[in-house]
């Protein structure tokens, strides 16, 4: 049994390590190969949570579902099989001690995302996973109705690797500089999957308010933001941290709000900031 995993982020590293362990526990011969297009794993993971890595939220499935906009029911079975509590237990088992902060956010005790990445890589290697860096999977081939191999650009040399199973964990298109360029969509579509057109989420916002330039770099804590449409109707509100940038607004409350503004195409929206909501 040959299993190929595309993408060395959190999902890819967890999937590869777990698959390798399953092979051993079930007495099956085979190998798991993880292909990562960058020179190291977890590039996007390293910058998550401002470099601290917000791993999950310490709540139940109902609490998680309530905070997933869009088609949250799509994740219902996944979250029931692997809950936030399971995530914490997993990381504790591979040596990452965790803590819970305001808003039930879970972070590593060390406050270092790098510790999370290094623990995941160790988990993979100790499970017998072969990790190949600077390796970008270009396509997956099917023969007689079955997956047969993947074509990989390894250090700019095109090579084919046989495989029986393929796990695509390439992330989305949100941060091209970290390797998230949408490769997974192309490969999945070539294998017959339907791809829903990606829409932005967890993104900073642009504004036409000229005063923003003078405020860039200013960070506010414990504030409340409320978004209104052009008719003055409230769209969304949140409490937490905000950051002024040279082009607009960022920070946790803005990133969370961005998904809720999609239906308005980010046009004619007013953001009100309450500096002392208490």
Q: Is 61 exposed, middle or buried (0-12, 13-18, 19+ CB in 10 A)?
A: middle
Q: With 80 as the cut, is the pLDDT of residue 69 above it?
A: no
**Could you report the per-residue pLDDT of 73-122, keeping only the tens digit for each?**
888 899 999 999 999 999 999 999 999 998 899 999 999 999 999 999 99
- Other C-beta atoms lying within 10 Å of the C-beta of residue 268: 10
The token duo for 140 is 């997956």
Tens digit of pLDDT for each residue in 23-68? Answer: 999 999 999 999 999 999 999 999 988 899 999 999 999 999 988 8
Contact 152, 161 (CB under 8 A): yes
Q: How many CB atoms lie within 10 A of CB 218?
A: 11
What local confidence, expressed as pLDDT, does residue 209 receive? Answer: 87
Distance CA 65, CA 13 (A): 25
% of the chain beyond a pLDDT of 90: 76
- Which pLDDT score, from 0 to 100, does residue 128 have? 97
Residue 174: band (very low, low, confident or very high) from pLDDT cuts 50, 70, 90: confident
Mean pLDDT of the chain: 93
Length of the chain counted residue by residue:
278
Contacts of 220 (CB under 8 A, 6+ apart): 241, 242, 243, 244, 251, 273, 275
Residue found by looking up tokens 């060395």 in the block? 8
Q: Which residues of 75-96 are buried (b: 16+ CB within 10 A; e: fewer)?
A: eeeebeeebbeebbebbeeeeb
How many Å apart are CA 91 and CA 45, to the nearest integer? 14
Q: What is the pLDDT of residues 177-233, one digit of tens each?
A: 888 899 999 999 999 999 988 888 888 999 988 888 899 999 999 999 999 998 999
């Amino acid at each position: 049994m040959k299993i190929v995993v595309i993408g060395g982020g959190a999902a890819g590293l967890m999937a590869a390590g777990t698959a390798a362990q399953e092979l051993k526990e079930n007495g099956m011969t085979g190998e798991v190969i993880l292909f990562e297009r960058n020179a190291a794993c977890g590039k996007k993971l390293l910058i998550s949570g401002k470099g601290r890595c917000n791993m999950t939220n310490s709540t139940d499935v109902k609490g998680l579902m309530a905070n997933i906009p869009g088609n949250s029911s799509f994740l219902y079975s996944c979250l029931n099989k692997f809950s936030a509590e399971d995530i914490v237990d997993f990381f504790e088992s591979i040596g990452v001690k965790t803590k819970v902060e305001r808003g039930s956010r879970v972070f590593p005790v060390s406050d270092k995302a790098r510790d999370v990445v290094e623990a995941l890589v160790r988990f993979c290697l100790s499970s017998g996973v072969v990790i190949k860096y600077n390796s970008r999977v270009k396509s997956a081939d099917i023969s007689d109705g079955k997956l047969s191999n993947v074509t990989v650009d390894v250090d700019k040399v095109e090579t084919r690797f046989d495989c029986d199973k393929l796990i695509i964990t390439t992330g989305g298109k949100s941060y091209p500089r970290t390797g998230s360029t949408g490769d997974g969509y192309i490969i999945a579509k070539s294998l017959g999957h339907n791809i829903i057109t990606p829409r932005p989420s967890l993104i900073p916002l642009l504004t036409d308010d000229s005063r923003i330039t003078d405020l860039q770099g200013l960070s506010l804590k414990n504030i409340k933001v409320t978004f209104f449409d052009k008719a003055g109707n409230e769209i969304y509100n949140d409490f937490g941290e905000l950051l002024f940038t040279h082009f607009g607004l960022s920070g946790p409350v803005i990133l969370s709000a961005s998904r809720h503004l999609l239906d308005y195409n980010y046009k004619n929206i007013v953001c009100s900031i309450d500096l002392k909501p208490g």
